[in-house]
Structure 1
């Protein structure tokens, strides 16, 4: 059994990035060990990881542009959401230009949504957390004006189906994202806030304390930033993962406080 790639990847990653770097190094080392017998070197493994991140990055913004155009025209709100996302990711210089170019390509009439999603599905095979985050970003774009146009819903359904999600799963993600949006708007502790805290966690107020904890742990496991980056999330999107994890934590804390849980 080969292990030197994992060993050195962990050590070097920890030196440069502490726990997150160690996890990423361990993952790259694992890929190296797995491919070493076939003569694939570390540079090729690293190149594959970077290529996966680049495809995730570009597909995200291209499909955002396509979703924004679904209702007939890209509105100021759509552009503001895309710009806000770039700001949250702290994109500057060439990276921001690439995101803007991908967004424009997605808006074009000849953009091939299905082909783009099929390529995206290949590079995220076995990484359902990345797929879910991608879909949630597209949901955020579609609901940027507070309403879901039928054409936008149709595109979201196409995205979900191409990436292996059914209608029920998409509806659940839509419900949770809407709850997350409202949770931000009503974070002063009123009744709506606690209702949306439950919805954000994907449960109801009839859930037992054990079910609340289980739902929280499941969501945190799915959205843990270090885990997502190790699976291929572009480093530029780390801040988005952090914000999602913070929202989950805030909802859980709200529910715990309401119930008097420890």
Structure 2
């Protein structure tokens, strides 16, 4: 069964009045976690949009840049987004459930945080409420503060290449190259899929790899 067929099933369950937390609970085993990852991005993205008080077309379109959504499945994704936005449960409830599913500190949770940053910056602005939202998600996910800062730097309008690689300014070339190679390995699409990212979200890996390469090339040029 395709990931979007399962998303449609989840949307139907929500339409029948089932809680999103119950839907996620059924997807806690490894083969189904790809679906849970997708639902988590949609649900937390909806909560984040609510946090800054508005939902823009850019933020909605950002989902299409993270996931390849078949036209026939757009309605199901929209239903999930709206259900999560209206749900009385706070975003921390979802974040904690996802953290338990993948394990605090899991690289998959950093991938999820990366997707949320992508959505937050889609409208060209990074709001204080969004920063607080993402910072709290990182805490719940067990993502180290340094990793959170690195992800935030990668989406800043004026990117500091050292911060994008998570290095102190002026690190020697050998250190920069070793760090770059480690990040490239972790960002390889095959590696990300192996740790639970759905193939439909491979655009996220491609965009991240481009930022890492650009930062490294800038450092080497300097």
Which interval holds the TM-score relative to the shorter structure?
Answer: 0.7 to 0.9
How far did residue 130 of structure 1 move?
1.2
Residues 169 and 49 of structure 1, relative CA distance in 2, 3 Å threshold: closer
Give the conservation status (yes or no) of the 8 Å contact 2:109–2:143: no
- Name stretches of at least 5 consecutive residues in structure 2 with no aligned partner: 1-27
Match of 1:119?
97
What is the match of residue 15 of structure 2?
Answer: none
Q: Distance in 1 between matches of 2:134 and 2:29?
A: 28
Give the alignment partner of residue 227 of structure 1, picking from 183, 191, 196. Answer: 191
The Cα shift of 1:94 comes to 4.8
How far off its partner does 1:59 sit?
0.7
Q: Does 1:62 align with 2:43?
A: yes
Contact 2:104 2:141 in 1 (8 A): no
1:104-129 Cα offsets, whole Å, 9 max, x none, are 22321514322211221122227722
Deviation for aligned residue 1:226: 0.6
- TM-score norm. by structure 2 comes to 0.75
- The total of aligned residue pairs comes to 195
Match of 1:251 in 2: 215
1:236: how far off? 0.6
Which of 114, 119, 125 does residue 141 from structure 1 map onto?
119
Bigger radius of gyration among the two: 1
Change (3 A) 1:52 1:94: farther
CA distance in 2 between partners of 1:205 and 1:159 (Å)? 27
- Does the residue aligned with 1:147 lie in a helix, a strand or coil? coil
Q: 1:154 to 1:199 in 2, by over 3 A?
A: closer
RMSD over aligned Cα atoms: 2.5
1:249 CA displacement: 2.2
Structure 1 runs not aligned, ≥5 long: 1-46, 184-195
Q: How does 1:103-252 map to 2 (within 5 A)?
A: 103-125=81-103, 128-165=106-143, 167-178=145-156, 182=158, 196-252=160-216
Provide, for residues 83-117 of structure 1, a one-character-per-residue CA deviation record: whole Å limited to 9, x for no partner: 443xxx32104543333222222321514322211
For 1:209 and 1:122, how far apart are their aligned partners in 2?
38
Alignment map for 1:42-57 (pairs within 5 Å): 48-57=29-38
Structure number with higher relative contact order (C-alpha < 8 Å, ≥ 6 residues apart): 2
User: Alignment partner of 1:203: what SS?
Assistant: coil
TM-score of the superposed pair, with normalisation by structure 1: 0.65
Task: Give the match for residue 72 of structure 1.
Answer: 53
Q: 1-side partners of 2:128 and 2:169: how far apart?
A: 31
Match of 2:78 in 1: 100
CA contact (8 A) 1:105 1:111 kept: no
How far has the Cα of 1:143 moved from its partner?
2.5
